[in-house]
Amino acid sequence: MIDTVKKDYNIITNEFCGYQVTYVNSNRVKSVPLAEDNTDYQAIQEWIADGGTVVDNPPE
Amino acid sequence: MAIDKITTPAIADDAVTNAKVSYNNNQFRNIIINGDMSIAQRGTSFTGIGDGDSQYTLDRFKWAEEGSTDTAAYTISQSTTVPSGQGFAKSFKVDCTTADTSVDANNIQYVGTAIEGQNLQYLKYATSSAENMVLSFWVRSNKTGTYGVALINNESTERLYSQTYTISSADTWEKKTLSYVGDTSNGFDNDNGSSLLIQWYLVAGSGKTSGSSQTWGSNTQANRAAGQTVNLADSTSNEWYITGVQLEAGTTASDFEFLPHDVNENRCLRYCFVVGNTPTNGERNRYANVGTYYTATQFFSGVYYPVVMRATPSFTAVGSNTAQAFTIYSANAGKTSTAVGRDAISATNIGYVITTASAGQGDGGLGAWNVGYYGIIEAEL
């Protein structure tokens, strides 16, 4: 079960490149790419559609 | 060959039939990957699995819970308890560690796997020539009774075909065979998406069991585990095993198709590749992370996967403090990482961005996964 989702930015270009996801009862952080056929990406979109809020701290 | 001795009756019976040459007939007939449960890259034991989880454990097989909050918890493991004399070495074991005797109506818990649509086109679904299928598997539990199992067409218009099987004898391996008539009305997309789900239900509330299904129909929740009476979560003494899972076209189950280990593993690698100081495979790409300091503190490294993955994968670093997962060896010094991320990633390769104390910008080096650290690269369904 998704706990938190945070936008991930490319360290060189500063472009939005994916999500950092944490899960309930887990200390692991999954890096999920912006790929529509990635099932983690699909799960994030469903989580957002169900009201989940993505944390966005873009690089300055 | 079904007949391997030349005898008088055999000479008289000289017609070549499919039944006589059935051994090894139609290789890769098993639609299921890792049906013998022999590949377990992520590890061999997973504790505390429970509410809200949807977690791949042994390769290609996951445990999932859906619906309202549930208190049951399990340990999933790769077991050496197998049916005697059948050639299997491993099984998938579910061990209830926290019981829940009262199942909410909307709760359902299952072991499942999924198949890409492009691997199902030869079934000719959505045509008048749709092939029948047979699902066979070995199963064992202390908990006798009726269990549900379902095939789900997971395309935009979901379809469900659920059946039941009965475990008759406690703590005894039993082979189950279920037949499925082909669906002439709905097909599978010809792509890399999740088209067919196979789910073995272990806990199902009344909202999932009260219906009926013995043919392809809409994915009505009440039909999903229709007829199931067992609640595997009702005691911490309960356990359930499965192995030898085979789904094939046709009307009769053939013997389980054992693949060479390397072939089986390569098929799994399309969906998951565990790298580093791995839980079960020793060292995979542990020292293969050649790269360069793009800045004085950021080491960039890229590695290829052994097979093209199903899709652009996700990446998870695993260990007690994943910021320290790597040591970078460069200019006659080793520096422990202080942050680990991924750069570009695709179905063929991944790039890591590994931060260390200051080094020489432009220096080449080698990134090594430290002991106890590994990465899970997943393009699961």
Which pLDDT score, from 0 to 100, does residue B8 have?
62
CA–CA distance, B45 with B52 (Å, rounded to integer): 19
Asked if the C-beta of A59 comes within 8 angstroms of chain B's C-beta atoms, the answer is no
* Model confidence, pTM: 0.93
Residue B223 distance to chain A (closest CA, Å)? 24
Which pLDDT score, from 0 to 100, does residue B7 have?
65
Nearest to A4 by CA among A18, A19, A21: A21
Which pLDDT score, from 0 to 100, does residue B23 have?
45
- Compute how many other C-beta atoms are within 10 angstroms of the C-beta atom of residue B260: 8
CA B256-B37-B258 angle, 5° bins: 30
CA–CA distance, B289 with B301 (Å, rounded to integer): 6
CA–CA distance, B62 with B207 (Å, rounded to integer): 22
CA–CA distance, B54 with B64 (Å, rounded to integer): 4
- Asked whether A29 and A21 are in contact (CB, 8 A), the reply is yes
Strands B108-116 and B194-204: antiparallel
Cβ–Cβ below 8 Å for A33 and B314 = yes
Which pLDDT score, from 0 to 100, does residue A21 have?
96
Lowest mean pLDDT, pick from A10-19, A31-40, B11-20, B350-359: B11-20
Which pLDDT score, from 0 to 100, does residue B20 have?
52
Report chain B's terminal Cα–Cα distance, integer Å: 37
What is the longest distance spanned by two Cα atoms in chain B? 83
* Closest by Cβ to B192, choosing from A10, A25, A37: A37
Q: Is the pLDDT of residue A12 over 90?
A: no
Cβ–Cβ below 8 Å for A38 and B315 = no
Which pLDDT score, from 0 to 100, does residue A15 have?
93
- Asked whether B341 and B323 are in contact (CB, 8 A), the reply is no
Paired with B56 in beta bridges are B62
Strands B349-355 and B364-369: unpaired
Q: Is the pLDDT of residue A51 over 70?
A: yes
Nearest to B178 by CA among B210, B218, B148: B148
A positions 26-45 inside 8 Å of B (CB):
28-33, 35, 37-41
Q: Can you give the pLDDT of all 381 residues of chain B as single tens digits?
A: 455 566 666 566 667 665 555 444 688 999 999 999 999 999 999 999 998 889 999 999 999 999 988 899 999 999 999 999 999 999 999 999 999 999 999 999 999 999 999 999 999 999 999 999 999 999 999 999 999 999 999 999 999 999 999 999 999 999 999 999 999 999 999 999 999 999 999 999 999 999 997 899 999 999 999 999 999 999 999 999 999 999 999 999 999 999 999 999 999 999 999 999 999 988 999 999 999 999 999 999 999 999 999 999 999 999 999 999 999 999 999 999 999 998 899 999 999 999 999 999 999 999 999 999 999 999 999
Q: Locate the chain B residue with the closest alpha carbon to A1.
A: B52
